[in-house]
Structure 1
Amino acid sequence: MTLVSMAYRTVDDIHPFRPDQAGDLEFLLFRQDGVISRRQALRYMSDKAIRHRLASGRWRVAHLAVYVTHNGPVTEHQRRWIAALAVGRGRAAPLAGLSALAGGGLRGFPTRPIHVLVGAHRRDTDPPPGVLVHRTRRIPLEDRHPAGDPPCTMPARSMLDAAQWARTDEDAVAIVAACFQQRLVGLVDVEPALARMPRLHRRQVIVAAASDAAGGAESIFEVDFARLCRRAGLPEPSRQVARTDRHGRRRYRDVYFDQWGVHVEIDGAQHMDVKAWYADMRQHNEIAIAGERLLRFPGWALRHRPDEVVADMRAALVAAGWQPDRGD
């Protein structure tokens, strides 16, 4: 008996296929959208049976020891299963960050690469193309989604990871704002998740963004803006000034420098919404038609990019006729 045939016999002895297991296999394939790992398949069939399915074209290799049990196009959902099973070495590793959020319904962000989370001790030198493997010291039970499909982290943990892995602070703030605006998370979920991640990268930016997105950000931003103007020696602006547009409708501006016709809008989480965004555009067109100036800043920039905000404000006021050396 050859070593190969001995291996087949050993696998069959450990995992003998029984007709009553067919229903379990069908359920597994249904749950995993037609994707299965070699490790899982050997619970229900022999290595020879797996090879026959591959040779006949009924199954095909998606990645090392991961198979797709059909010969049609691979869907995005199946790609997530392939990533989870490949990185987990036969057992599904949890999706994380934007990939977990996409599975939960987050809109407006790219679905590639696929982010997978593993323990810090694990090494994966050959993940599937388009898959990023992240390592963590621990994934508490509270951060594991009980019904993830594929397995994934909870929305609050997913948002925090996505924000700390984002390319820039601006991208991180956009992710946090979108998660709140699209009702995927609330402060009641985020605060305990933050407590479980003491080493969170970009923590100050993320905490401020979550606090702002949770509600009441606009009035806070306006106070911050007024303080910033005073510190920089800029004129004192008016806040929440009512204006009448060309159609006779009353509009409110966040900040308005009356004497120089300079408007300022401070954007919070509500500006992630497409309808609100278009309504803002219409209002901004009204300002341009009236021949006045408009500047827009995201709320987080007041706290994390104050020098840039001041520089833009100073340039706009000077262009409108303000003379800094003479004061107001």
Structure 2
Amino acid sequence: MTQIPTYRTATATMTDTTYFDEEMSDSHSDLLMRFEAAFESDYRLVATGRTAAWIHGFDVLPPGADQRRWPVESSPDPPLSQITVVDGLPVTTLARTLVDCAADLPRLEAVAAADQMLRAGIGSDHLLAALEPVHGARLRQANTTLLSADPRAESPMESWTRCLIGDAGLPPPVPQLRVRTPNGRVKFLDLGWERWRVGVEYDGLATHLGLTAETADHRRHQTLRNLGWEVHVLTASDVTEHPRPWLTRLRDTLLERGWSPDQDELEEIKTRIEAVTMALHQ
């Protein structure tokens, strides 16, 4: 039976939560500043989880979440070897922060966070050291997240899209796939399969602004289509709310272009697409 992944959760993992009064100005409700206030009231605290990621410079909050209202996540007891200082504040090291996010966040958010942090560069020795004290279910989830991560991703929605494609059982695409045109120039696809000349693009601009006019991205897509590529363009709504239609179209396109799974694999993929859809709607 296909296991349905966990994609969303309504709660954050934290050991201490601090809020500012809603009447305070926006400049004082920044997540970093709210941790600073918590730290000044208790010098034992170390920023952890999403708060540590934010202070390190990574936005790993759920899509649409307002960091000015997000709870401060902190702990008084990380080992000294896993603490660093950023902007004068104690936070978990980048490797420890990555492991916490990989182990504790819902799957899509965890993979997107891991992609971002790995892209910044984390030594394998530091990562292994941060994983060493992790056990049980947290270790299993962290390992699953890290196996799905890819530092080539350039945005969280690209990470989500790649993760959904993998969870649906489709062949793994290459992030930031390079396609060379006849004039020697290179065009990039967010995700793609060179063997079948199929690409997937996330159109964040259209999602936020509703643009239908010609853009550089549209021209790039047309260039690729002229070279025989099939390019699927997705919006945030497609990725976060309605995965079944585009995953089904993508499966059919890959089949038309020569992908040849057996019948049992196709049945499993159909089941997994439904499981992915259900998981997003839970």
Q: Give the TM-score of the pair, scaled to structure 2.
A: 0.49
The higher-RCO structure (CA 8 Å, 6+ apart) is 2
Greater Cα radius of gyration, structure 1 or 2: 1
